[in-house]
Amino acid sequence: MKQHITEEQWNELSDKKQKKLLKWSKTCESFQDQVIEGDYNPNIVILSIGQMIEFLYENVNDRISVAISKKNGSYISKDNFMMSSDFKDELADSLWEAVKRGTK
């Protein structure tokens, strides 16, 4: 099971959204400095499943649901509106889609 987003996924965000997540990560108790391929980069946040759940909990005001199916994968919804565009094979990818949509 994939536990974190990738650097490529991080780069999908606009500069504005990256800055918001970087600012949030500095206040997140569970966040630790991230190392990518042995090099520390203070401008990249490689979020874990738990950190993405924590971000959504703190930043999305409505109820969020996670659906996990062995056959179809997983998706995230907010009040019956899918926050991830479709079923993903990995929970981390579904959460990442929700984080991207939940970051303004």
Q: Is the pLDDT of residue 94 over 70?
A: yes
Question: 11 pLDDT band (50/70/90 cuts)?
Answer: very high
| Cα gap 44→25, rounded to integer Å | 10
Supply the pLDDT for residue 18: 92
Supply the pLDDT for residue 38: 53
pLDDT digits (tens, 9 = 90+) for 29-86: 666 544 444 556 778 888 888 888 888 888 876 677 777 776 766 666 665 555 555 6
Which of these, 103, 96, 2, 101, lies nearest to 51 by C-alpha position? 96
What are the domain boundaries of the chain? 7-102
Tell me the angle at which helices 49-59 and 91-102 cross, rounded to the nearest 10 degrees. 30
